[in-house]
Structure 1
Amino acid sequence: MGDSSNVSAMIRALKEGGNLASLTGGDPHNLHSGRRGAWKSKLKNFAQKVNASNDRSLFIFSKSNWIRKRANAVIEWNPFEYMVLLTIIANCIVLALEEHLPNEDKTKVARSLEKTEVYFLGIFCFEAALKIIALGLMLHRDSYLRSPWNVMDFVVVVTGLATVSIKKNTSFDLRTLRAVRVLRPLKLVSGIPSLQVVLKSILKAMAPLFQIALLVLFAIVIFAIIGLELYSGVFHTTCFYANKTAVDNDSEDLIYKSDNELATACGVPGEPMWGWLNMKHGVFTCNIPHESLVCREYWVGPNKGITSFDNIIFAMLTVFQCITMEGWTQVLYWTNDAVGTLFNWLYFVPLIILGSFFMLNLVLGVLSGEFAKERERVENRREFVKIRRQQQVEREYNNYVEWINRAEDVILHEERTTEQERRAIHEARKYAATKRTRPLRTGKQQSLDDDEEDIGMYENQLFTINRLLSVESFLIHL
């Protein structure tokens, strides 16, 4: 009684503006190291007392309150969860059917769908209110705002309410608040555990993915430097018309383009391209029938000069394009046209094998590994919760059995107990001992399946209830 009054006084003092220093007897910053441990233990005891005494959600609904019980039953009811999921899917469909026209005009369908916003928001508010009443807002363990998924839902609900209230009262630009509605499809993650496993796996894979990104960046820099040494400036020669003049001094009018209206790099046969290596084999020589062409500079290069090895930035960008295998063959063909095909594969084959097939697939390997770990972690947690629940049931069951044994000992020592009643108690104890030790004696405890274990537990509970009723009826007649 004294502890509860002290805790009530502490809570009252905190509500009236008191601080922990006045309640616990000092300030931790002014305490010596010897007293600091005592202050921490005192603060810990105070927090435990407050948590033990204050189990009310919103400081109103206790665990025994019928409103909180009904709210807890509703949020754990499977049809309610399915209804929320269907509401989220319907809201996603409505958001996808929105059509924006100039001058903020709206179609008839858009106006009709806009009226459903209030109903969706009402359902989401109802869901959030039930969870807050059942779980508590944020002070309790496993409360509503202690879950990141619920925090996201709460942000969606609050911004939706703000949008509705501001829309009715002012001419405030609501596009920023409406943009938060894109988070509503993420509410599906909070309702589907398998999606939570996938998203948690991605989040936990960020650290190893960052290390892989550094490795890929290192490889890109190495290949970019090699390309800078080998292919610098080779993409600036192309086929020009020899008997034409430029229009408005635009040299693009003089460049020969193929049927697909694309220019290509070219090379002059017979000239060594890299000093000691003669790579004239396979170059594009501008020998087009019925055309007077000459291979010379200056062409800006493919893709307006972006695809090139002229500097480290463009070289890294070109290497990145190659390892993603998005148009890398065209880069290979351009280099073949410019410098030949004799030794060109020595650069691109290792680039594709190491950069694309190996390093980028490490990302999939890391994600797969983290997904397997997260799924195993979830399964282990389920197994742990199941074992803990079984241990709790077994502990309560053993307490009842111990109480029954003590009561039966009292009955056995009573003078008014008949021989028939004593014989019944001894037989019940022998039967209980046989039921408890039979799986251990036969060695089949590990091989019993879940159904057989449930049946055995159910029989033990029924037998214990019968013993309890027998003891109770005997005590009533005393």
Structure 2
Amino acid sequence: LLEYLPQTKDLSLTAIRAIRVLRPLRAINRIPSMRILVMLLLDTLPMLGNVLLLCFFVFFIFGIIGVQLWKGVLRNRCFLGINDTIAHPGLNLTEYYQLNSSVDSLVAPKDFICTLNDANGIQTCDQINPTVMWLSTESYMVCNRTADPFGDNLPTNDSCVNWNQYYSVCNASVSNPYMGSINFDNIGFAWVAIF
């Protein structure tokens, strides 16, 4: 049988040894009180079926509501709205705003999800925290300067450009938060988010 499987040279059958975990189940027949407990658990399975049916119904209803309300909403990101006259001095500015090593990296979410202009939401692109420039491991400087057109815009000892203020265009991107696992784009992912 193994010769018909592709690439059996590197096949490891140690996972089959995990079945040895089931060996203590042989003691069910030997211990009378254990048999009573197992039969009691098996007798409660039909009652658990009703609970699982109710749980599935609740997930189904809230999944439909989630898809109708929030389909594609978690894809909204704040994109860079900078014109060609402003030069950023060798910075790796990402296409849309992502949380990096700033002061709020421990409390803020990794992806900043914004609300489109025609939607009802509370998080807009102008609420992004300012850029932070670390001076040492313990001290930092909050950037508050705007970029000069046709200037070098390099940071100085007492000021730096707040590049986060230029992430001002809220549009839909291609990815959902947490590597695409949290969204309400279809009923399957809605069930994952609800569960």
1:317 matched to which residue of 2? 192
2:96 matched to which residue of 1? 255
> Which secondary structure does the structure 1 equivalent of 2:78 belong to?
strand
2:28 matched to which residue of 1? 189
Aligned partners of 2:77 and 2:174: how far apart in 1? 6
Give the Å deviation of 1:194. 4.1
- Picking from 123, 135, 159, the partner of 1:283 is 123
Give the Å deviation of 1:220. 1.0
Quote the RMSD (CA, aligned, Å).
Answer: 3.4
TM-score scaled by structure 1?
0.25
Q: Does 1:293 align with 2:167?
A: yes
One-letter code aligned to 2:97: Y
Give the Å deviation of 1:255. 2.6
Give the Å deviation of 1:223. 0.7
Per-residue displacement from partner, 1:339-376 (whole Å, max 9, x unpaired)? Answer: xxxxxxxxxxxxxxxxxxxxxxxxxxxxxxxxxxxxxx
Sort the Cα spacing of 1:236 and 1:187 in 2 relative to 1 into closer, same or farther, 3 A: same
Sort the Cα spacing of 1:232 and 1:206 in 2 relative to 1 into closer, same or farther, 3 A: same
Decide which structure has greater strand share.
Answer: 2
Q: Does 1:233 align with 2:81?
A: no
Give the Å deviation of 1:208. 1.8
TM-score scaled by structure 2?
0.55
> Which secondary structure does the structure 2 equivalent of 1:308 belong to?
coil
After superposition, residues 229-378 of structure 1 pair within 5 angstroms as 229-243=68-82, 253-259=94-100, 260=105, 262-268=110-116, 271-273=117-119, 279-280=120-121, 282-285=122-125, 286-289=127-130, 290=162, 291=164, 292-294=166-168, 295-319=170-194, 321=195
Give the Å deviation of 1:197. 3.2
Identity %: 29
- Picking from 56, 60, 78, the partner of 1:221 is 60
Q: Is the 8 A contact 1:235 1:299 kept in 2?
A: no
Aligned partners of 1:197 and 1:210: how far apart in 2? 21
Bigger relative CO (Cα 8 Å, ≥ 6 apart):
2
Aligned partners of 1:300 and 1:223: how far apart in 2? 23
One-letter code aligned to 2:95: L
Sort the Cα spacing of 1:237 and 1:193 in 2 relative to 1 into closer, same or farther, 3 A: same
Aligned partners of 1:272 and 1:311: how far apart in 2? 22
Sort the Cα spacing of 1:187 and 1:266 in 2 relative to 1 into closer, same or farther, 3 A: same
Decide which structure has greater helix share.
Answer: 1
Aligned partners of 1:175 and 1:302: how far apart in 2? 33
Number of residue-to-residue matches in the alignment = 135
One-letter code aligned to 1:254: E
Aligned partners of 2:174 and 2:42: how far apart in 1? 46
After superposition, residues 53-72 of structure 1 pair within 5 angstroms as none
Q: Is the 8 A contact 1:238 1:299 kept in 2?
A: no
Per-residue displacement from partner, 1:123-153 (whole Å, max 9, x unpaired)? Answer: xxxxxxxxxxxxxxxxxxxxxxxxxxxxxxx
Aligned partners of 1:175 and 1:300: how far apart in 2? 35
Aligned partners of 1:243 and 1:196: how far apart in 2? 72
One-letter code aligned to 2:167: L
